[in-house]
Amino acid sequence: MTPKLGSWQRHQNIQPQLHSKFKRHQKCHLWTYLKEDLQLSDSEDSDDDVIYAKTTGPPTYTTNSYGYLVEETPTYQTTNCYKTYKGPTQSSSQQTVCRDEPTENNWMNQRTEQSIKILLQKQLEEQKLLSQEQKSAQTSMRKSGSSSSDLYDAVPEGHVQVGKIIYNPKAVLGHGCEGTFVYKGRFENRPCAVKRLLPECFTFADREVELLRESDQHPHVIRYFCMESDNQFRYIALELCVATLQDYVEGKSPYSRTFDSLQLLHQAASGIAHLHSLGIVHRDIKPHNVLISQPDTGGNVKALISDFGLCKKLTAGRISFSRRSGAAGTEGWIAPEMLDEDKRTTCAVDMFSFGCVIYYVLTRGKHPFGDSLRRQSNILEGDYSLQSLPMIDFYVRKDLIDSLLCFEPSKRLCAKAVLKHPLFWSRERQMAFFQDVSDRIEKENVDSEVLVCLEKKGLEVVKFDWRKHISEELQNDLRKFRTYKGENIRDLLRAMRNKKHHYRELPEDLKRSLGAIPDQFVQYFTSRFPKLLIHTYNALRCCQYERVFQQYYFIEY
The pLDDT value given to residue 112: 67
| Average pLDDT rounded to a whole number, residues 140-164 | 64
**Cα(172)–Cα(13) distance, rounded to whole angstroms?**
41
Nearest residue to 227 via CA among 252, 253, 195: 195
Name the phi and psi angles at 443, rounded to 5.
-110, 20
More confident site: 110 or 441: 441
Nearest in space to 259 (alpha carbons), one of 288, 300, 287:
300
Tell me what the mean pLDDT of segment 51-56 comes to: 45
**Residue 64's pLDDT band (boundaries 50, 70, 90)?**
low
Select the more confidently predicted residue: 34 or 444.
444
What pLDDT sits at residue 49?
44
- Residue 52 in this model has a pLDDT that exceeds 50: no
Which pLDDT score, from 0 to 100, does residue 90 have?
44
> What number is the average pLDDT over the span 369-383?
93
DSSP assignments along 469-497, one per residue? GS-HHHHHHHHTT----TT-HHHHHHHHH
Q: Residue 299's pLDDT is what?
A: 83
The tens digit of pLDDT for each residue in 10-29 reads 444 444 444 444 444 444 44
* Residue 368: how many other CB atoms lie within 10 Å: 24
pLDDT at residue 6, as a whole number = 44
Angstrom distances, CA of residue 323 to CA of 66, 149, 277, 327, 480: 68, 52, 21, 8, 66
Note the pLDDT of residue 12.
Answer: 42
Cα 212 → chain centroid: 8
Helix/strand/coil for 284: coil
Residue 79 has pLDDT above 50, yes or no: no
Mean pLDDT across the chain: 79
* Domains of the chain, start order: 7-120 (no CATH), 158-239 (3.30.200.20), 261-424 (1.10.510.10), 425-552 (1.20.1440.180)
Residue 7 vs residue 265, higher pLDDT: 265
Give the list of residues 6+ apart from residue 100 with CB closer than 8 angstroms, or none: 27, 28
Count of CB atoms situated within 10 Å of the CB of 158:
9
pLDDT tier, 291 (very low <50, low <70, confident <90, very high otherwise): very high
Q: 490 near 540, Cβ under 8 Å?
A: no
Q: Is the pLDDT of residue 8 over 80?
A: no
pLDDT score of 489 more than 60: yes
Per-residue pLDDT at 177 exceeds 70 = no
- What single DSSP character describes residue 226? E
In the chain, the amino acid numbered 305 is I
φ, ψ (nearest 5 deg) of residue 235: -120, 135
Neighbouring CB atoms inside 10 A of 557's CB total 2
> How far, in Å, CA of 352 to CA of 405, rounded?
5
Q: What's the pLDDT score for residue 245?
A: 94
What is the pLDDT at residue 324?
54
439-446: long-range contacts at Cβ-Cβ below 8 A with a sequence spacing of 24 or more?
439/497, 440/540, 440/543, 440/546, 440/548, 440/549, 441/490, 441/493, 442/494
Spatial CA neighbour of 365 closest among 479, 261, 210, 495: 261
Residue 33 scores a pLDDT above 90: no
pLDDT number for residue 46: 44
C-alpha to C-alpha distance for 250 and 101, rounded to whole angstroms:
87
Active site residues: 284
Q: Is the dihedral of CA 108, 114, 117, 118 positive or negative?
A: negative
125-139, 270-284, 489-503, 539-553: lowest mean pLDDT where? 125-139
Of residues 366 and 46, more confidence is placed in 366
